[in-house]
Amino acid sequence: MNDNHRKPGLIKRLGSALLVGSVLAAMTSGAQAETQIRFTLDWRFEGPSAPFLMALEKGYFEEEGLDVTIDSGNGSAGAVTRVATDSYDMGFADYSALTETTSKNPDTEVTGVYMVYNAMPAAVFALKESGIEKPEDLKGKTLGAPVFDGGRKAWPSFARHNGLAVDDVEWQSVEPAIRETLLARGELDGITGFYFTSLLNLEARGVDPDNIVALKYPDYGVEFYGNTIIARNELLEENPEAVRGFLKAFNKALQETIDDPEAAIKYVKQRDGLIKEDLELRRLKLALETNVITDETRAEGLGAVTEDRMARALEDMVASYGLEPSPELEALFDSSYLPPRESRMID
Look at residue 30 and tell me whether its pLDDT is greater than 80: no
Give which of 81, 47, 105, 66 is closest to 329, Cα–Cα.
105
- State the pLDDT confidence band at 347, using cuts at 50, 70 and 90: confident
* pLDDT tens profile 175-186: 999 999 999 999
Pairing state between β 190-194 and 142-145: parallel
Residue 69's pLDDT band, with cuts at 50, 70 and 90, is: very high
Helix ranges, the chain (H): 3-33, 50-57, 60-63, 76-84, 95-104, 150-153, 155-161, 179-184, 195-204, 233-238, 240-259, 261-271, 277-287, 295-300, 307-321, 327-330, 341-344
CA distance 125 to 333: 30
Helix (H, G, I), strand (E, B) or coil at 39: strand
pTM for this entry: 0.89
Neighbour-count burial for 229-262, b at 16+ CB within 10 Å, e otherwise: bbbbeebbeeeeebbbbbbbbbbbbbbbbbeebe
Nearest to 191, CA basis, from 280, 281, 125: 125
End-to-end Cα distance, the chain: 70
Tell me the C-alpha distance between 6 and 215, whole Å: 85
Instruction: Give me the percent of the chain exceeding a pLDDT of 90.
Output: 89
